[in-house]
């Protein structure tokens, strides 16, 4: 059944109202996110990483020159298999 021009106008207006309402709702969500920033949970280091870090601190104290050379080469970026 075809709609009358008035009915078409009314449907158009209703759709527009719906769009505006959705926009407003989204704005609310965005605003609320800005008010409450996302909580960042710090990455938990494994026991091995913690021990390796302490080990490197000790090595830095024992041999600072070689520590600097090896750190610059990126040797400490990965925990070697021999470290337990």
Q: Does residue 46 interact with other proteins by CB under 8 A? A: no
Among positions 55, 64, 68, 72, the unique one binding other proteins when judged by CB under 8 A:
55
Measured distance CA(54)–CA(50) in Å, rounded? 6
Determine the angle formed by the axes of helices 47-62 and 64-72, rounding to 10 degrees: 130
Q: Does residue 58 interact with other proteins by CB under 8 A? A: yes
Measured distance CA(38)–CA(55) in Å, rounded? 34
Stretch that binds other proteins, among 5-13, 24-32, 38-46, 64-72 (CB under 8 A): 64-72
Q: Does residue 73 interact with other proteins by CB under 8 A? A: yes
CB 79 within 8 A of CB 48: yes
Q: Does residue 4 interact with other proteins by CB under 8 A? A: no
């Amino acid at each position: 059944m075809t709609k009358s021009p008035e009915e078409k106008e009314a449907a158009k207006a209703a759709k527009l109202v719906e769009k505006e309402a959705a926009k407003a709702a989204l704005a609310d969500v965005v605003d609320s996110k800005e008010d409450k920033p996302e909580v960042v949970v710090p990455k938990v280091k494994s026991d091995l990483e913690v021990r390796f870090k302490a080990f490197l601190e000790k090595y830095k104290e024992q041999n600072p020159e070689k520590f600097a050379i090896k750190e610059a080469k990126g040797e400490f970026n990965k925990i070697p298999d021999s470290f337990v």
